[in-house]
Amino acid sequence: MNDQERDIIGKPLPRIDVWGKVTGDTCFADDLSLPRMAHAKLLRSDRPHALIKRIDTSHAQALPGVYAVITGHDLPKVKFGILPVSQDEETLCLEKVRMVGDPIAAVAASDEQTAQRAVELIKVEYEPLLAIMSLAEALAETDVRIHEYGDGPNIHKVVALEFGAVAAAFDQADLVREDLFFFQGNTHLALEQHAAIAQWSAAGKLTLWSATQTPHYVQRALAKVLELPPAHIRVIAMPVGGGFGGKTDPFSHEIVVCRLSQLTGRPVKLTLTREEVFYCHRGRHPALLWVKSGVTKSGEILGMHFRSYLDGGAYGSYGVASLFYTGALQTVAYQVPNYKFEGVRVFTNKAPCGPKRGHGTPQPRFALECHLDKIAEQLALDPAALRRQIVVAEYTKTANHLTVTTCGLRAGIDRVTAASNWHAKHRQLPFGKGVGFACSTYLTGAGLPIYWNAIPHSGAVVKVDRGGGVTVFCGSTDIGQGSNSMLAYLVAEQLGLTPKDISVVTGDTDLTPVDLGSYSSRVTLMAGNAVLQATERIRELLLAAVAKELAVPQTELLCRGGRIFCRNSPDQGRSFAEAAVLAETSHGTLACAGSYTPPRRSGNFKGAGVGPAPCYSFSACVVELTADPETGKITVEQVWLAHDGGNPLNPLAVTGQVEGSVYMALGEALLEEQIFQQSGVHQTPSLLDYLSPTSLEIPEIHTILVETGDPEGPFGAKEVGQGPLLPVIPAIANALYDALGVRIDEVPITPEKVLKALERKAQGRTPRVGPERLPDFTFPEPLEVPSAFGQPADPAVKRKTADHATPTPLQLSET
C-alpha cells in the first residue's frame, strides 16, 4: 500500500451538503422561524440625494400589529462599513440620504404585510440635493459633496504607483499601444435574497442568524454599532444560497433586526425583497480602463501603464480594495518588468459597489486581454503564442512585489489550444464564426485581513470522540462553493475516514474559531491549512497511542479505511474508534487547534497589501462563438477552459466552479448591466427585467484541470472559485473580432453595439464601439517603487516537492 495513494482527496466525491440541498432539508436564513417572531421591513429612500428634514412615524406606530418603529434616533450614532478607512454607512439615515434605497426607518410587526403597510405610513420630508449619477459628474462636481471624506470632493480614493521606469521602457519598445475600455456594473444575482433573524435573549445576549459570507466581520460591526461587547454577540452564518461577494459586507438590515429584537423582546426577521437586493448588493464597479503597453516585435512586454476609473456608488464598501485590485494582478500572469498604475474611485448617488466574483479584476483583465489581442494582431503574432512566451516564471517576484509560486499557465495554454483545435480555427473560420483567446490569474486568499491586525486568518478545532466521530470547527462559511465539503475531505483523508464520518461546524462565532470569511478564494487554502494543522496534531496523538499499543514505530502506521494499522502487516491494527479510546485514555480529551496565517509577501510601500496571496491560480480560455451580422446576436458555442487551481481536492467540485464561472462571465460579457435612471431608480430591478443567461444560453464547457500541486495549499490546492471567470469575458470579445472583425471594447457586448460596430465598419470607420476618451482628471505624481520583477522568491517560500506533484494530471472533459 502506497502512502501517496489517497482515498478522498482528488476523488470525484459528492459534496457533503448535496443531500440536504437536493431534498430541501437545508435550512437557509429565510427558512428559519422562531416562536413569537416579528417580521421587519425597511423604509428606504426614494430620492438619490436629499437632506432629511422630518420623519413622521406616528401613523405607522398606531397601526395594529406593529410592535416597534425605529429611525436613526433609536440607535447609537455610530457609522459602520466593512473597511476601517470607510466607516461611512448609517444603519438608518439620520440627516441625509445618498441613494435611492438608503434605509431611513424600520418596522417590526406581527407579519410582513402589516410591517409593509406600516412602512408605507411613514412620512419623510426631504430637501433635494443635486444627484451625481456618473463618473464624469463626480469628477467634475466640487460644490455638492456626497461624503465629507475622501481624496477629493466626490473622490473616495486616488492611487498612483510606479514600479520601475515605464517611460524609459516605452522608449525602448518596438510598439507602444494604448486602448480604452468600459466595463458596465452588474450584480451577483444570487438566487437567495439576503435574510437575517435576530434574537435578543432574556439574558441580554444577542444572536443573529444571517445569510452572510463574513460572520466575524458582522459580529464586529454589530458590536460597534450597537455598542455591545463582542462576547455578548453570536453571529451564525446560515447556509448561503449564493454569495459571490454580495453578502460580504455587514448590512443595515442585519443591524436593524438586532435593534428591533432588543426593543421588542421578540425574534425579528427581515428578508430583503429582490428589488432591495438590486440596491444593496455591492455589485461589480462600472469601470473605465486605459492601458498602454510598450512591447518588442516578438511580443515581450517592456512596460505597461494602466489606469482605472471606478464609479463606486454611494458608499465606500470594499471600494478602496476594489480600486487597488484593478491594478494589482496585471503583472502576475505575464512578465511585466516595468509597471505604472493609476486609479481613482468616485462617489455617485447610486447603489454602492464592492466585491463580486473576481473582485476588481474582471474589468482590467477584460481590458488587458483585449489590448494584448490587438497587439498580437498588430505584430502579426498568434494571440495564444504571444501569451505563451511571456508567461510569468515560477518562484519569482513581479514588478509590484508579488511572489508567484507555481504557475501552470503555459501548460494551460498548450492544453486549451490543443483541445479546442485553436490553431486550425483562429482567423480561419467562416465569417460569423470566431474563436477568441485569453488568460488570467487570480489570488488564492488575500494576504491581509479586512479587520484586525491580529492573526491567524483562519483557526480550526478538531475533536475526536471515543465513539469514532470527528467534528471539525471552523469559522468559515459555506456559501454554496462547497467549502464545508473541502474541510471534511481534508480531515477524512488525514484520518483515514470517510467524509460522512466528519461533522463540520462552521460560521458560528460562538462555536468556531475565527476565520475571516468566505471571500477572496481564501477558504480552501487558509481554513484548509488550519484544519490540516489541527488534524495533524490529532493524528499524532492517535498514531502515538496505537504505536504504543502495538509496540511498533509510529512511522510504520497508516490511517486508512477507518483503521490505523501497520503498513507492512495490515491485519495488525486498531479500528479508528479503538484508536480514539487508546489516545484519549493516555492523553485526555482529544481536541486540537490549528491555525493559518498567510506568509507576509507584500512589498514595502503603501497599498502593497492588496494583491499578495500565498499563491495564484491561472486560467487559459478559448471561446468559440457564432455572431449573427444581421441581428448582432452572439451565441457562444463552446468554451475550453484550462485552470491551474493546484491539485483539485475534488475534481467535480472544481469543475463545478469552472462551469459556474463561465456562466457568470457569459452574463457579464453579453447581457448584464446595472443602470440607473437620473432619478436614482434602478432601470431593471427584477429578475424579469435584469437580463441574465438561463440554461438555454449555456455553451458546451470543456474543463481542463492543470495540476501544479502548489506547496502553499492543502494537498497542493489553489483557488478556483473566481479565477475561471476572468478570461471568458475578453475571450468572447476577442472571438467576436475573429467572427465579425469588430471590436466591442465595452461590456456587455449587446447586439445593439455589435450592429453599431458593423455599421461603422461598413462606413469605413474604425469598426469599434467603446469609450472614446479619458475623463478630465489629473492623477498625482506616482509613488515610485523599485520594480521587483524577476527577482527570485525569498528563500523562505515553500517550493514544490515530490509530495505535491501528481504524476499524471487528471483530465476531466478534455476532448
Stretch that binds its own copies, among 54-62, 339-347, 450-458, 695-703 (CB under 8 A): 450-458
Quick one: 590 or 742, whose CB is closer to its own copies?
Answer: 590
Closest by alpha carbon to 367, among 757, 747, 769, 779?
A: 747
**One symbol per residue from 500 to 519: x for binding its own copies (CB under 8 A), - otherwise; what is it?**
xx-x-x---xxx-xx-----
Quick one: 577 or 793, whose CB is closer to its own copies?
Answer: 577
Residue 590 lies near its own copies (rule: CB under 8 A): yes
Closest by alpha carbon to 649, among 6, 21, 20?
A: 6
Residue with cell 482567423: 427
Quick one: CA torsion of 612, 156, 282, 674, rounded to 10 degrees? -120
Min dist. Cβ of residue 110 to its own copies (A):
18
Residue 409 lies near its own copies (rule: CB under 8 A): no
Selected from 65, 242, 469, 786, the binder of its own copies by CB under 8 A is 469
Quick one: 119 or 542, whose CB is closer to its own copies?
Answer: 542
Quick one: 428 or 589, whose CB is closer to its own copies?
Answer: 589
Min dist. Cβ of residue 114 to its own copies (A):
24
Residue 595 lies near its own copies (rule: CB under 8 A): yes
Selected from 39, 157, 234, 269, the binder of its own copies by CB under 8 A is 234
Rounded to whole angstroms, what are the CA distances from 608 to 328, 402, 658?
Answer: 9, 9, 29
* Residue 303 exposed, middle or buried by CB count within 10 Å (0-12, 13-18, 19+): buried
All three cell numbers of 455, joined, read: 492573526
Selected from 54, 64, 191, 203, the binder of its own copies by CB under 8 A is 203
Closest by alpha carbon to 36, among 205, 268, 194?
A: 268
* Phi, psi angles (nearest 5°) of residue 592: -125, 145
Residue 599 lies near its own copies (rule: CB under 8 A): no
Quick one: 203 or 796, whose CB is closer to its own copies?
Answer: 203
Residue 468 lies near its own copies (rule: CB under 8 A): yes
Min dist. Cβ of residue 511 to its own copies (A):
7
Q: What one-letter code names the amino acid at 139?
A: L
Site for its own copies in 551-580 (CB under 8 A): 577
Closest by alpha carbon to 456, among 533, 359, 401, 538?
A: 533
Residue 539 lies near its own copies (rule: CB under 8 A): no
Residue 466 lies near its own copies (rule: CB under 8 A): yes
Longest dimension (CA), the chain: 87
Residue with cell 462551469: 659
Min dist. Cβ of residue 611 to its own copies (A):
23
Quick one: 42 or 470, whose CB is closer to its own copies?
Answer: 470
Selected from 164, 459, 632, 730, the binder of its own copies by CB under 8 A is 459
Q: Helix/strand/coil (H, E, C) string of 510-576? A: CCCCCECCCCCCCHHHHHHHHHHHHHHHHHHHHHHHHHHHHCCCHHHEEEECCEEEECCCCCCEEEH
d(Cα 40, Cα 37) in Å, to the nearest integer? 10
Residue 770: DSSP 8-state:
S
Residue with cell 463545478: 656
Quick one: 36 or 73, whose CB is closer to its own copies?
Answer: 36
Selected from 1, 51, 130, 231, the binder of its own copies by CB under 8 A is 231
Min dist. Cβ of residue 592 to its own copies (A):
8
Min dist. Cβ of residue 664 to its own copies (A):
28
Stretch that binds its own copies, among 145-153, 216-224, 311-319, 804-812 (CB under 8 A): 216-224
Min dist. Cβ of residue 72 to its own copies (A):
25
Selected from 337, 360, 445, 594, the binder of its own copies by CB under 8 A is 594
Residue 537 lies near its own copies (rule: CB under 8 A): no
Closest by alpha carbon to 734, among 364, 360, 377, 363?
A: 377
Q: Is the peptide bond before 809 cis (omega within 30 degrees of 0)?
A: no
Q: How many residues sit in the footprint of its own copies (CB under 8 A)?
A: 63
Min dist. Cβ of residue 210 to its own copies (A):
17
* Phi, psi angles (nearest 5°) of residue 217: -70, -40
How many residues are recorded in the chain? 815
Min dist. Cβ of residue 454 to its own copies (A):
4
Min dist. Cβ of residue 432 to its own copies (A):
48
* Residue 276 exposed, middle or buried by CB count within 10 Å (0-12, 13-18, 19+): buried
Min dist. Cβ of residue 459 to its own copies (A):
3
Contact 477, 759 (CB under 8 A): no
**One symbol per residue from 8 to 27: x for binding its own copies (CB under 8 A), - otherwise; what is it?**
--------xx-xx-xx-x--
Residue 460 lies near its own copies (rule: CB under 8 A): yes
Rounded to whole angstroms, what are the CA distances from 376 to 114, 330, 596, 765?
Answer: 62, 17, 42, 21
* Residue 1 exposed, middle or buried by CB count within 10 Å (0-12, 13-18, 19+): exposed
Selected from 456, 573, 714, 767, the binder of its own copies by CB under 8 A is 456
d(Cα 73, Cα 378) in Å, to the nearest integer? 62
CB atoms within 10 A of CB 141: 17
Quick one: 497 or 627, whose CB is closer to its own copies?
Answer: 497
Residue 638 lies near its own copies (rule: CB under 8 A): no
Quick one: CA torsion of 217, 219, 220, 223, rounded to 10 degrees? 160
All three cell numbers of 106, joined, read: 424600520
d(Cα 758, Cα 743) in Å, to the nearest integer? 9
Stretch that binds its own copies, among 270-278, 381-389, 591-599, 688-696 (CB under 8 A): 591-599
Residue 223 lies near its own copies (rule: CB under 8 A): yes
Residue 119 lies near its own copies (rule: CB under 8 A): no
Residue 165 lies near its own copies (rule: CB under 8 A): no
Residues in contact with its own copies by the rule CB under 8 A: 16-17, 19-20, 22-23, 25, 31, 35, 201-205, 216, 219-220, 223, 229-234, 452, 454-456, 459-461, 463, 465-471, 497, 500-501, 503, 505, 509-511, 513-514, 530, 534, 577, 581, 584-585, 588-595
